Amino acid sequence: MTSLDKPTEETTADEARAVTEAALFEAFGGVRGMVETVLPGLLFVTIFTINKDLHWSAIAALAVSLVLVVVRLVMRDTVKHAFSGVFGVVFGVVFAMMTGNAKDFYLPGMLYTLGLALAYIVTTLAGVPLIGLILGPVFKENLSWRTRNPGRKKAYAKASWAWGLILLAKCAILFPLYWWADTTQLGWVLVTLKIPPFLLAVWLTWVFLAKAPAPIDVFAEMEAEEKAEEERRAALAAEQGETPARPAPGRHRR
């Protein structure tokens, strides 16, 4: 293992925690991302609880999702979290309108949660934990953790297991309610379960990564290698340029 293969040892524990917090905030959207995730579903179930009107509930949820996207566009902010919310609401509205069953507004999101839980577990069993694939680019380490940073790979595996099991537990609550409960009961339970499991998973991810070795900045490595290569070429060019310019002994003697 070369010096480039070792995680930077100069990073202090506090700096590592700060970097981890910033990366998690960027990856999962922070407080604003949570609001954008919860608000459409909250508005849908609130309106449906009041008037039992599927159409107005769906229109309101879709409208607020679009407004959130427009706000981000106006502020020139990243729209990935708002767009993901719009797509989820659109699929929910289409399902509910097609079946005429208001509970189907929540079905696409529930299926997505189940699929995501399985993805976390399957990728971890395959040796490529999903949380590492998500956070690797954020930490500028890409996939270097797979072969060059085993401690970090172990932390990603633990975090992925946490995400997968937490989301499976959430599905174990929601899917029986989809069959047995009415729309308002399912809706309020789903809204209630939006944030706490998410925060628990993010917190566990932070705990695991804060104790893990620092990420290997592969971008900095590539820049250093390119700079070294440029310096080597410059030195070689200078050396080659000096050789023919050297006068032969006695050539200029008069």
**Residue pLDDT, tens place only, 61-87:** 888 888 887 887 777 766 666 666 677
Residue spans per domain, the chain: 12-230
pLDDT, residue 242, reads 54
pLDDT, residue 29, reads 66
pLDDT, residue 166, reads 96
Asked whether the beta carbons of 39 and 191 are under 8 A apart, the reply is no
- Please give the Cα distance from 31 to 50 (Å, whole number): 28
Return the H-helix or E-strand segment holding 195. Answer: helix 195-210
pLDDT, residue 159, reads 95
pLDDT, residue 140, reads 86
pLDDT, residue 80, reads 63
pLDDT, residue 249, reads 54
Task: Give the chain's residues under pLDDT 50.
Answer: 1-6, 8-11, 243-245, 251-254
Residue 78: partners with Cβ closer than 8 Å, 6 or more residues away: 72
